[in-house]
Amino acid sequence: MTEETPITQAQRLQPQLVDHFMGLIATHRLAHAYLFNGMDGTGRQALAQTVALRLFCQNVGADGLPCGQCAECRRIMAGDHPDVVTVVPDGQRIKVDQVRYLKSEFTKSAVEGNQKIFIIDQMERMTTGAANSLLKFIEEPVGNTVALLLTANKNLILPTILSRTQIVDLLPVPPKKLADALAQAGVAPSQRYLLANLTESVSAANDLIADDWLGTAQTSIEHWFTACCQNDERAFVRVQTELVPLAATRDRQRLVLDMLVQIWHDALRQQTAALPSSDLAYPQVAQVSAQIAQRLPIDRLLAIMTLVLATHGQLAGNLNFQNILEALTLEILAQISH
């Protein structure tokens, strides 16, 4: 598969925002704190990294974009630039010690120039203590500092943080657009649409299919889905024998839940339109999802989708993963047999 750079990814996903921020930097009008708000798949990280690259690039192109090739760009993309610091959750949360470390780093003079930039990913997972510590830093920035805060849901961010940042809402990206890019990159037809809904770039999709996990997960979820649609109580057994073993980590658990959403979304979409299998996340069970779409009324399919979507909140509330899936399966079987 062909690798995308952060620059090409940001251009593909958010071309208008790329132009906007390149213009701000070129005219020295960049503010000191932004909150990038957008669902997974909208290119938050790519846009933030493109801004960082443009600030430090030694060979900006005639189009105003960073070159992606100079020493500064290469160091940033390798995560090895001392004046570009990225903070991600330590486990489940972004903790106050991480913000304290960030503040200590940024109170020092910039190592290689006057500019410093920090990127905090998944801001919604920051503890209240960490957010309060960060607030003071944003209110009184040190030197020529730019803060880029990234979140999938700005409603989970402290109002005091929101009021001190410029909020940038990223537009949703149609999965079909990424699916086309994945097709050009040589991804198998059976996985293109699913990957387009699970990831935001060709490179992220490449990471996900680097081993056999995704294919195994697809097959296991198809088995479970088919059993559910047939009102087969063995769907409950498949939770323990096939689904739970897929998810040894919390990230994999979230990914499995995302994949369950996609397979039921296939059924919901097929009730309202005749779709080619290439436009489905699970083309191998297109007939099964079409049959359940014809069999169940729209309100029952929507009820099932609501149940599946609710599992993310249950997992975030530290409920046991197996218990979540078993309860979900029983509730789905009840809806189907109703």
Q: Quick: pLDDT tens for 29-67.
A: 999 999 999 877 788 999 999 999 999 999 999 999 999
- Our CA angle for 22, 28, 29, nearest 5°, is 80
How many angstroms separate the CA atoms of 168 and 34, rounded? 7
Rounded to two decimals, the pTM is 0.62
Digit-coded pLDDT (tens) for 254-271: 999 999 999 999 999 998
Residue 278 binned pLDDT confidence (cut-offs 50, 70, 90): confident
Do residues 260 and 239 lie in contact, with contact meaning Cβ atoms separated by under 8 Å? no
Residue-wise pLDDT for 156-201, tens only, equals 999 999 999 999 999 877 777 788 878 877 888 889 999 988 887 7
Q: How far apart are CA 151 and CA 169, in angstroms?
A: 10
Q: How confident is the model at residue 111 (pLDDT cuts 50, 70, 90)?
A: low
DSSP per-residue string spanning 98-131 = HHHHHHHHHHSPPSSSSEEEEEE--GGGB-HHHH
Q: How far apart are CA 2 and CA 141, in angstroms?
A: 39
Q: According to CATH, what is the number of the domain 211-337? A: 1.20.272.10
Fold of 6-169: Rossmann fold (3.40.50)
- Beta-strand ranges (E) seen in the chain are 33-37, 84-87, 115-120, 144-151, 166-169
Q: Across the chain, what does the average pLDDT equal?
A: 91
- pLDDT of 209 reads 87
Average pLDDT over residues 21-36: 96
Q: Is residue 313 within 8 Å of 306, Cβ to Cβ?
A: no
CA 121 to CA 100: how far, in whole Å? 16
CB atoms within 10 A of CB 327: 16
At residue 85, what are phi and psi to the nearest 5 degrees?
-115, 130
- For residue 84, the SS3 value is strand
Pick the closest to residue 58 from 48, 43, 44, 72 (CA basis): 72
pLDDT band at 1 (very low <50, low <70, confident <90, very high): very low
Tokens representing residue 44 in the block: 């938050």
d(CA 104, CA 118): 12
Calpha distance 237→262 (Å, rounded): 21
Task: Give the contacts of 151 (CB within 8 A, at least 6 positions apart).
Answer: 35, 36, 37, 44, 122, 123, 124, 157
51 contacts 21 by C-beta, under 8 angstroms:
yes
Can you read off the two tokens belonging to residue 83?
């004046």
Model confidence at 295, pLDDT cuts 50, 70, 90, reads very high
> Residue 143: what pLDDT?
77
User: How does strand 84-87 pair with strand 115-120?
Assistant: parallel
**Portions of the chain given CATH number 3.40.50.300:** 6-169
Q: Quick: pLDDT tens for 298-329.
A: 999 999 999 999 999 999 888 999 999 999 99
210-245 pLDDT tens trace: 888 999 999 999 999 999 999 999 999 999 999 999
Question: By CB neighbour count within 10 A (0-12 exposed, 13-18 middle, 19+ buried), where does 282 fall?
Answer: buried
pLDDT, position 299: 94
Rounded distance, CA 259 to CA 294, Å? 22
